[in-house]
Amino acid sequence: MQKLGEREPARTDGPLAVAPALSVQFFLIPLAVVAVVVAVYGGFRLIVADERSPEEYLNEIRTGGRDRRWPAAYELARIMAEPETEAQFPGLGLALVQAFVDSTGDDPRVRRYLALALGRLESPPAETVAALSAALDDPDSETVISVIWALALLGEETVVPHIVGMFGAQDPGVRKMAVYALGVLPDDGSHTTLRAALDDPVPDVQWNAAVSLARHGDGRGVTVLRRMLDRDYVTRQVTPSGTLADPVSDVMISGLQAVAALGAISLGENLRAPVAALADADPSLKVRQAAMETLDALEPSPISRNVAERQ
């Protein structure tokens, strides 16, 4: 299909953006985490302009001053997104776990970025999940958000009960990330927490729940998905942010991708009309492109079409 020339969302510049194994673009990443990452990026580059080894960054985290340690943790999380980093430094995983444990009660910014670095490990040490899980009761909500993200990245099924428990948090950012993680991690198929999240008072949480359910092939969030395709509605709900170029379109595209994930089953088919309307006339080229791709996904397969014709 011919592309419409859309550009990538602005959030792809942050250290949270590179997580292809989780199909991050399919979800509404909680804006609190993205905002923290993007807000510090420019300032950090002014502080640390050189490329150093992971060991040097870890040493900076252990012994550097307050204004040097968290930028070192940030940069460490960034370079952990590069697969060759872990291969070049085979003992790095254990050192990261120890640094994270030692950071308990320390500068929350150091904790957040070390958690993200741990989540990027391809071969995490056995102690990784336990160290992260113990941090779910951290008093800093942004740290908890980063920890949940890291656990989702690691894909460890045993943490699901812990993540379910985090849905009861007062902080909506924690609930959003918990719902996101439950969309990534396997469960028993009942999706009880995700279904409950469809009625959360915060729209962002509802949206993440509907998208997460769709990723599991569950269409019970179709009512929420329909609202996500309504530009006027989404515009009223989204708070303008300097960290995202077009947050309204990002929400709509996530909704469209969720509809596409449902495929040509009846629930996805019920949304064909609003999807077609977006493909025809939405002001965003990105949304129109996503809508056209969703319409392609809603087309029944040749086999199912032949069966329908015989009936």
Helical pair 272-281 and 247-262, crossing angle rounded to 10 deg: 140
* Phi, psi angle pair for 86, to nearest 5°: -65, -35
Asked if residue 3 belongs to a domain, the reply is: no
- 136 and 76 share one domain: yes
Asked if residue 306 belongs to a domain, the reply is: yes
Quote the domain boundaries for residue 146: 11-154
Number of domains into which the chain is organized: 2
Asked if residue 144 belongs to a domain, the reply is: yes
Contact 304, 23 (CB under 8 A): no
Looking at 97, 125, 154, the residue that finishes a domain is 154
| Tokens read off for 232 | 């006027």
- 127 and 43 share one domain: yes
Asked if residue 113 belongs to a domain, the reply is: yes
Looking at 100, 123, 154, the residue that finishes a domain is 154
- 25 and 86 share one domain: yes
pLDDT of residue 276: 94
pLDDT average per 10 residues of sequence, the chain (311 residues) = 38 37 46 51 48 91 92 95 91 96 95 96 95 96 96 91 94 96 86 95 96 92 96 92 80 95 68 94 97 88 44 41
Burial label, 152 (beta-carbon count in 10 A; 0-12, 13-18, 19+): buried
- 150 and 35 share one domain: yes
- 38 and 90 share one domain: yes
Rounded distance, CA 35 to CA 145, Å? Answer: 12
Looking at 88, 123, 154, the residue that finishes a domain is 154
- 127 and 228 share one domain: no
- 127 and 233 share one domain: no
Rounded distance, CA 55 to CA 106, Å? Answer: 20
pLDDT of residue 263: 81
